[in-house]
Chains A and B, each alone.
Chain A
């Protein structure tokens, strides 16, 4: 790179530092901005960014190579086509779309056309599971892509989207609403009411409601807030986990777009309870198209005195900053998310200590899901009893479910906890299913004989992902898709997850080829059990779940195969 260009990059980094801060936590936003400008992150950019933040170039490379949205390859097309390869889009026919893309462009996935116009890449779940196969062209979203539409999309690209039949924002498909999605509560009502309450009373109300984290882990929200509120520190943080990455989940995408104010109300209530002055929304890189919308919302709230130094003239100080992820499923894990916010590789931390004690920048932090914040705001507005009307003893309230796969009515459903799988399948018109994956890639695969089980924390827990498998589905292929996902998405730090997942995938390939003995299969099952108990974080611990439940429940389907002739 020319000296002049190097100097130019340096001065740009300086400006970006002024905007995002001069410590390492500014690293991701700086890299995003530089990539937007230069289309890729050159060696010089990585080095100069490192030196400017007083870290080592190899550390920047470590971060860049961790997140799949950062590119270091100069040979990148003007249009980067990312086709979702995760389960729901796979079920919906991604393979045929992929083949046609390769045919039209004359390149394979991972390659760029000679004229540097197009690059083909796979990506993991983009939250379009009910409208698969989905793909993104740069940050533009395309749903229900068929092989026949591929050439149209490519033609649209060539004409810079001047004339296109595809909509700008793909609307979400809400099939069933309930008290959370459909109520008379006005925006800010929950916040206004909460600010009139004493902090312990808010905690008591949320405790009474029995609200548990909607992201999937199901930790009681009141306990989390209470711990962070009780921790002594000059700084505290409220973080909204909008890194909806669990395959088959797309309800947060809808909530972020349609119920933004209630979510921000919830965050502000949490800030009030904790005594936090700063909040972050960690939005996944795949939802880049929501960025400006959310920024405008935040700006508007500042103008309306709903954020700032003296919120609603109640003396509350709170501000929210939006930070973008960059394509890493593991960042949905709260400590990995915090690492990412600090400008590191998204690698989970050792726990204890927990983020409520030692969180962002070592200060007490609460990390909650988008839906949890909305529920909190509604509970403050309507009271705990209102929330408790639905659900079970240990799983109160209604929950948003993202339904995809082999059913007639995929989409978003608000249903009470405790509903049986059978009832849910009736609701979504997928009664013929032979199995249902509940809780995403890290969840469990429930076979038809167990459809009377209930979706709840006390039985089959779920953060909202429901994937239906029809009678014709090859369950081994399903398992393979999940394992491929984890092999790629493991952060790579702990041995069981990093090395174990490839071994399970290898086992599936052996099963496919019909050369896996049942003794080796039981060895792999034991390995899966080790991964469940010995991995460092929730990703590793849940990564073998799908494999284990599929080989257990469909043993005769997966063993003794005669390989397909190619």
Chain B
């Protein structure tokens, strides 16, 4: 396989549309740090440091270990410089400067906590608190709120300029996934920059001006009437409780308490790598998979299953669909829609339904692992254990807010029941643990429940961008060639599709083919037609990157030649999901990825088709094999042309 990343040119940014007021102060950092004038000496609070030209005061201070408070600044987003909490004094300048937005281009002396600075910061804070409905006890972000932290650090013990006593705007809970409580908004605009720039979805923007300025949706429509994809990235970056997910934990507790209900939970790969972050003293990237199983049982769930099972099932179904499309295109000369797009990420699915509905035929009809699992539990598992599916409550622990919307799609009840009753985020499960008095890191480990408890590496890597592609390659390559992928890639680690580059591209030449395996018998007569074919794949994460890929395909660019493309709505894939612990940044996401790949390495089963539970399911339940009539009924779905019209 070759990694042809460098051949792709996505640098030409056609979107000149982004307001420059929120564009980073573009002083390009020098490539050669040894060049004359490339490094500049700065003195901050009496300490000297040399930094590359264009470094912001904030970055330089960080390097010196000097803390400057921030609110609107976020490392994933472009610079705004609007909250003014990070102001510092630069010698020789009368006005204070926003350290997040001030690029250093000449030697300067900076002071970060003079009287003038302290007074300004305190005023900024007091002004924010005056307009913030700060009912901390009843706030979802109590204990994890950047505004609360600042009030603490600055010793706020009275409201200098008054305080909002009653909510004025009320909250919008119309969406299945995302609730907005604008009385808590401090207008840092992180959500706007997330939605417009990072994700290019464009639900929010700043409306009106002056005192009336607020963050709104188009025509201030409720969230269920706008083009929101429910990715929840705005929640992850909101410094306060103005944006939060719709929390189903109360009804889940009720189900647990109801003895007539059989409550099962599946846990997705990404949450296990991150749930520890919700507990004190746990570093990002500490997997607590098996402690979590113990805690879940302690809470009273009847069964805890591993979503890895249905991730593997997805690979079989989606892989089979890909083979069908390839056969149709290469042998039968049918106008198959290629490349095939993955369908695991419900944020991505809603994105394409809104913005590129004409390309929906490319999307695999396979349901996401969450939904497949639900369908299997309420049919196969119910039969197996003789439980009335009406009494089964399926909970899905997900890193995701869009999963809450997905499980409520009307088409997702092929078993005759709602496939999944509740989508629960990592944050919400951690909260349930805390309510039950569980200190997660201290618990003993325990395994998943049978029959869907096999820990597979091929499933767990679904949690990282590129993971679905990697699993698909491992399985498809081995099923087609009969050879071990390990011969091509050390430890079957397919490095070209890993990493955090926005768009990745790789090629996999199929030089030899083997016999058609039993699982796929009847699907194709042989593999000869694939001999000599080079499979071309790509991976994109974050919908802004997805947009670039789709535009490239529409223009007939290089990616239109791909056979299979993985899309994840969230930056970093599921490990950067909207339901994951707050805060998020590149470093934290990298730590989570490391934990996920370590779990993959440690797994005995690392190829989906080798998962024994999968083999059992096809021999006992989907006996006609993948993509058969029955599997289509339960494991596949259709999509809606939503379009982007709102009026």
Residues of A in contact with B (beta carbons under 8 Å apart) = 1, 23-24, 43-44, 46-47, 51, 53-59, 61-62, 65-66, 328, 335, 338-339, 342-345, 347-353, 358, 361-362, 486-496, 498-503, 523, 526-527, 529-530, 532-536, 541
With both chains docked as a complex, state the minimum distance between the C-beta of A481 and any C-beta of chain B, in angstroms. Answer: 15
Cβ of B11 < 8 Å from any Cβ of A?
no
Chain B interface size, under 10 / 10 to 19 / 20 to 34 / 35 or more = 35 or more
Q: In the complex, which residues 53-110 of chain B have their Cβ closer than 8 Å to any Cβ of chain A?
A: 79-85, 87, 94-96, 98, 101-103, 105
Closest to A339 in B: B21
Residues of chain B within 8 A (CB-CB) of A345 are: 19, 21, 206, 209
Residues of chain A within 8 A (CB-CB) of B202 are: 55-59
Residue-wise interface mask of B (233-275) relative to A, using a CB-CB cutoff of 8 A (1 in contact, 0 not): 0000000000000000000000000000000000000000000
Cβ of B17 < 8 Å from any Cβ of A?
yes
Cβ of B211 < 8 Å from any Cβ of A?
yes
Closest to A526 in B: B119
Closest to B226 in A: A58
Bound CA span A182–B128, Å: 53
- Which of B94, B131, B647 is within 8 Å of A533, CB to CB? B94
Residues of chain A within 8 A (CB-CB) of B186 are: 495
- With A66-B209, A342-B19, A533-B94 known as contacts, the answer to whether A499 contacts B81 (CB < 8 A) is no
Residues of chain B within 8 A (CB-CB) of A62 are: 205-207
Bound CA span A344–B537, Å: 38
The 9 residue pairs across chains A and B that have the minimum distance between CB atoms: A56-B202, A492-B213, A499-B127, A62-B205, A350-B101, A344-B19, A530-B123, A534-B120, A58-B218
- Which of A47, A527, A534, A541 is within 8 Å of B645, CB to CB? A47
- Which of B21, B96, B116, B218 is within 8 Å of A57, CB to CB? B218
Closest to B26 in A: A358
Bound CA span A527–B103, Å: 27
15 contacts between A and B (CB under 8 A): A24-B16, A47-B218, A57-B202, A65-B208, A350-B21, A352-B105, A490-B213, A491-B213, A493-B187, A493-B206, A494-B83, A496-B124, A498-B210, A500-B127, A534-B123
Q: Are B124 and A495 in contact (CB under 8 A)?
A: yes
Residues of chain A within 8 A (CB-CB) of B27 are: 352-353
With both chains docked as a complex, state the minimum distance between the C-beta of B217 and any C-beta of chain A, in angstroms. Answer: 6
Bound CA span A501–B84, Å: 15
Bound CA span A499–B214, Å: 12
Q: Are B206 and A348 in contact (CB under 8 A)?
A: no
Q: Are A495 and B19 in contact (CB under 8 A)?
A: no
Bound CA span A6–B163, Å: 46
- Which of A43, A502, A533 is within 8 Å of B96, CB to CB? A533
Closest to A55 in B: B17
Residues of chain B within 8 A (CB-CB) of A43 are: 219, 647
With both chains docked as a complex, state the minimum distance between the C-beta of A204 and any C-beta of chain B, in angstroms. Answer: 25
- With A345-B19, A495-B83, A536-B81 known as contacts, the answer to whether A541 contacts B123 (CB < 8 A) is no
Total cross-chain contacts (CB, 8 A): 192
Cβ of B550 < 8 Å from any Cβ of A?
no
Q: Are B103 and A353 in contact (CB under 8 A)?
A: yes
Residues of chain B within 8 A (CB-CB) of A536 are: 81-82, 84, 98
Cβ of B160 < 8 Å from any Cβ of A?
yes
With both chains docked as a complex, state the minimum distance between the C-beta of B486 and any C-beta of chain A, in angstroms. Answer: 46
Q: In the complex, which residues 214-228 of chain B have their Cβ closer than 8 Å to any Cβ of chain A?
A: 216-219, 226
Bound CA span A362–B98, Å: 21
- With A350-B98, A499-B128, A534-B84 known as contacts, the answer to whether A492 contacts B21 (CB < 8 A) is no
With both chains docked as a complex, state the minimum distance between the C-beta of A378 and any C-beta of chain B, in angstroms. Answer: 32
Q: Are B130 and A499 in contact (CB under 8 A)?
A: yes
Q: Are A349 and B16 in contact (CB under 8 A)?
A: no
With both chains docked as a complex, state the minimum distance between the C-beta of A541 and any C-beta of chain B, in angstroms. Answer: 6
Cβ of B519 < 8 Å from any Cβ of A?
no
With both chains docked as a complex, state the minimum distance between the C-beta of B287 and any C-beta of chain A, in angstroms. Answer: 38
- With A499-B130, A530-B123, A533-B120 known as contacts, the answer to whether A61 contacts B82 (CB < 8 A) is no
- With A57-B646, A495-B82, A495-B124 known as contacts, the answer to whether A534 contacts B213 (CB < 8 A) is no
With both chains docked as a complex, state the minimum distance between the C-beta of B428 and any C-beta of chain A, in angstroms. Answer: 28
Q: Are B187 and A342 in contact (CB under 8 A)?
A: no
With both chains docked as a complex, state the minimum distance between the C-beta of B124 and any C-beta of chain A, in angstroms. Answer: 5
Residues of chain B within 8 A (CB-CB) of A353 are: 25-27, 103
Question: Apart from A350-B25, A358-B26, A534-B96, what 10 extra A-B contacts exist at CB < 8 Å?
Answer: A53-B17, A56-B218, A57-B646, A66-B209, A344-B21, A353-B27, A492-B213, A495-B124, A496-B84, A530-B123
With both chains docked as a complex, state the minimum distance between the C-beta of A449 and any C-beta of chain B, in angstroms. Answer: 26
Cβ of B617 < 8 Å from any Cβ of A?
no
Cβ of B33 < 8 Å from any Cβ of A?
no
Residues of chain A within 8 A (CB-CB) of B20 are: 338-339, 342, 344, 349, 358, 362
Q: Are B127 and A495 in contact (CB under 8 A)?
A: yes
- Which of B119, B127, B196 is within 8 Å of A56, CB to CB? B196
Cβ of B139 < 8 Å from any Cβ of A?
no
- With A47-B646, A347-B19 known as contacts, the answer to whether A535 contacts B84 (CB < 8 A) is yes
- Which of B21, B116, B203 is within 8 Å of A493, CB to CB? B21
Bound CA span A501–B209, Å: 13
- Which of B95, B189, B206, B210 is within 8 Å of A534, CB to CB? B95
Closest to A338 in B: B20
Residues of chain B within 8 A (CB-CB) of A351 are: 25
Bound CA span A361–B17, Å: 10
Cβ of B333 < 8 Å from any Cβ of A?
no
With both chains docked as a complex, state the minimum distance between the C-beta of A20 and any C-beta of chain B, in angstroms. Answer: 15
Q: Are A492 and B84 in contact (CB under 8 A)?
A: no
- With A503-B161, A526-B123 known as contacts, the answer to whether A490 contacts B211 (CB < 8 A) is yes
Residues of chain B within 8 A (CB-CB) of A529 are: 119
Q: In the complex, which residues 329-355 of chain B have their Cβ closer than 8 Å to any Cβ of chain A?
A: none
Bound CA span A356–B442, Å: 60
Residues of chain B within 8 A (CB-CB) of A501 are: 210-211
Residues of chain A within 8 A (CB-CB) of B127 are: 495-496, 499-500, 503
